[in-house]
Amino acid sequence: MFEWSETDVMIRDAVRGFIDKEIRPNLDALDSGELPPYPVIRKLFREFGIDVMGGEAVQKMLAKQEAREAAVAAGEPKPEKKASGSSPFAGQESLMAVLIGELSGVCMGLVTAMGVSIGLGATTIMSRGTLAQKQRWLEDIVTMRKVASWAITEPDSGSDAFGGMKTYVKRDGEDYLLNGQKTFITNGPFADVMIVYAKLDDGAGGDKRERKVLTFVLDKGMPGLTQGKPFKKMGLHSSPTGELFFDNVRVGRDRLLGETEEHKGGDGRDSARSSFTAERIGVAFMALGIINECHRLCLEYAKSRKLWGQEIGRFQLVQLKLAKMEIARINVQNMVFNTLERGRAGKPPTLAEASAMKLYASEAATEVAMEAVQLFGGNGYMTEYHVEQLARDAKSLMIYAGSNEIQVTHIAKGLLAQ
């Protein structure tokens, strides 16, 4: 794949029409927090049939799983499990790539709010949950009827997500009691459903860093659960981020993903690592959106802005900025296209490769956005010119989904393990 297909281009143009009609006029309200992102996302899903597509995919998947489990219960041999997509939108990767790219160039907070809810929340339940758990939560999240958050980060853990984790659960009869705190949680202030990672304190002592990590699903309003107010941030203002607090939250085994402490796919660490890969690939898709929009805006400005009687695009230093933007655009777009092709071939990137993509793409997007501000000069520093917001949002990509410093470690570990 070296360019978008005709279908992709048609979808892209339709998405741009929606953006011009529904998002650009509301950018100030979204950026101030006056307008939450969720009504806009739901309207987008309705207009493009994404909610119906996702709902039907979930129903089809659950029906197949229910039939398999019924056959096994009736004594038939357990069928060999076939590889399947870990996303409810498996097979629609080009659609989602176009959607993410176009939205990111205008209001990246919409993408993070949607991406965490579906790309992390729904897919974690899909990959780890029992049939009953999928039936309970999955369709509502995939259709955006409910918003999900994915809570792993804590005030004292950051990149040391597992070792520094202090949120814990203790067994209490047939239930668990959950205590602790999570921070920097996308959708946290308004989430209806929360995927929460916690250490198991079984009273056996030993190294706390090595304790088993369990994954639970919580619902808004549970006793002992508090959702903090949205943080004030440098960028991504349209994506609410906050804290979650747990004070003896009683969770039954039906809320433990897989309903067992001995999950065949490993403990919560393995679940989270799989999500890290998808999240970091998503950063490259978002970075491409930022780069494309900066590229477009700078070309327009270089052709229209005049100094000393000529267009600034005639000045060699301005041309150098434009040339570097074009190089970044080509490189990141090639990464995205390569990822799409590998996914279709059943060979998705490894965690190390996803980390490499994330590291390069986020740095490229941030550099392009800052150069866009510089090219616009004083105008670029003003909020009425969109490059100011793009620069603020782009910087988050170097921290989001694991800081770029930790990506270096993951890349090196992957290389040294070969």
Q: How many whole angstroms separate alpha carbon 12 and alpha carbon 337?
A: 15
H-state helical runs in 185-315: 268-304
Using alpha carbons, list the distances in angstroms from residue 403 to 7, 108, 150, 169: 35, 18, 17, 27
Per-residue confidence in pLDDT tens, the chain, 418 aa: 678 889 889 999 999 999 999 999 999 999 998 999 999 999 999 999 999 999 999 999 999 999 988 888 888 877 665 444 466 677 778 888 999 999 999 999 999 999 999 999 999 999 899 999 999 999 999 999 999 999 999 998 877 788 889 999 999 999 999 999 999 999 999 999 999 999 999 877 777 888 899 999 999 999 999 999 999 999 999 999 999 999 999 999 999 999 888 876 667 777 777 788 888 999 999 999 999 999 999 999 999 999 999 999 999 999 999 999 999 999 999 999 999 999 888 898 999 999 999 999 999 999 999 999 999 999 999 988 899 999 999 999 999 888 999 999 999 999 999 8
Q: How many whole angstroms separate alpha carbon 409 and alpha carbon 418?
A: 15
Question: For position 85, what pLDDT does the model report?
Answer: 45
Two structure tokens written together for 135: 């039936």
Q: How many whole angstroms separate alpha carbon 226 and alpha carbon 246?
A: 7
Two structure tokens written together for 144: 């955006």
Two structure tokens written together for 328: 């970044």
Question: For position 87, what pLDDT does the model report?
Answer: 67
413's CB contacts (< 8 A; 6+ apart) are 352
Rg (CA), the chain: 22
Question: For position 211, what pLDDT does the model report?
Answer: 87
75: left (phi over 0), alpha (psi -120 to 50) or beta: left
Q: Which helix (H) or strand (E) holds 90?
A: none
**140 C-beta neighbours (distance < 10 Å), count:** 17
Yes or no: domain 6-147 corresponds to CATH 1.10.540: yes
Helix (H) and strand (E) counts in the chain? 12, 9
Q: How many whole angstroms separate alpha carbon 98 and alpha carbon 142?
A: 18
pTM of the model: 0.90
Question: For position 51, what pLDDT does the model report?
Answer: 93
Q: How many whole angstroms separate alpha carbon 80 and alpha carbon 77?
A: 9
CB 2 within 8 A of CB 337: yes
- Hey, what CATH topology would domain 269-417 get? Butyryl-CoA Dehydrogenase, subunit A; domain 3 (1.20.140)
Around 111, how many Cα atoms within 13 Å sit in the side-chain half-sphere?
30
Enzyme catalytic residues: 279
pLDDT tens digits, residue range 356-411? 999 999 999 999 999 999 999 999 999 888 999 999 999 999 998 889 999 999 99
**What amino acid is encoded at 125 in this protein?**
I
Beta bridge partners of 197: 215
CB 104 within 8 A of CB 111: yes
Return the DSSP state at 98. H
pLDDT tens digits, residue range 110-142? 999 999 999 999 999 998 999 999 999 999 999
Backbone angles phi, psi at 380, to 5 degrees: -65, -20
Return the DSSP state at 381. G
Question: For position 81, what pLDDT does the model report?
Answer: 54
Question: For position 380, what pLDDT does the model report?
Answer: 96
Q: Domain 150-255 belongs to what architecture?
A: Beta Barrel (2.40)
Using alpha carbons, list the distances in angstroms from residue 167 to 88, 200, 214: 29, 9, 11
Two structure tokens written together for 87: 């996303």
Give the residue carrying structure tokens 């150098």: 320
Domain range annotation of the chain: 6-147, 150-255, 269-417
End-to-end CA distance of the chain: 28
